[in-house]
Amino acid sequence: MQRAPHDASPGEARCTSGPYPAALQEVWASTAKQRFPSNPWMLREGPSMVAVLQRAEDFSTATCELWLPMERGL
């Protein structure tokens, strides 16, 4: 198994709950607007993943986890 370089993070998970898909869209937007500009980490190549942890039967609300691959920026 290869180890990630010291400046690479495996990623970051952000969890959200609420009306679906609006809550998931909001966590994407807040990550782009607040998380990235305020620290040295940035997206790296690799898959981003969404897990629906709980949901209403009609998918009107859900608890989701967004995982983004990240690495230390310049």
pLDDT band at 58 (very low <50, low <70, confident <90, very high): very high
Structure confidence at residue 8 (pLDDT): 46
Distance CA 40, CA 20 (A): 30
pLDDT in tens, 3-35: 444 444 577 889 999 999 999 999 989 888 887
> Does residue 46 lie within any of the structural domains?
yes
Report yes or no on 4 lying in a domain. Answer: no
Number of neighbouring beta carbons within 10 Å of residue 24: 21
Residue 68 domain boundaries: 15-72
**pLDDT, position 5:** 46
Least confident of 9-13, 14-18, 61-65, 68-72: 9-13
pLDDT at 32: 80
Asked if omega into 21 is within 30° of 0 (cis), the reply is yes
Domains contained in the chain, number: 1
Q: Is residue 7 part of a domain?
A: no
In 2-60, which ranges are E strands?
8-19, 41-43, 49-55
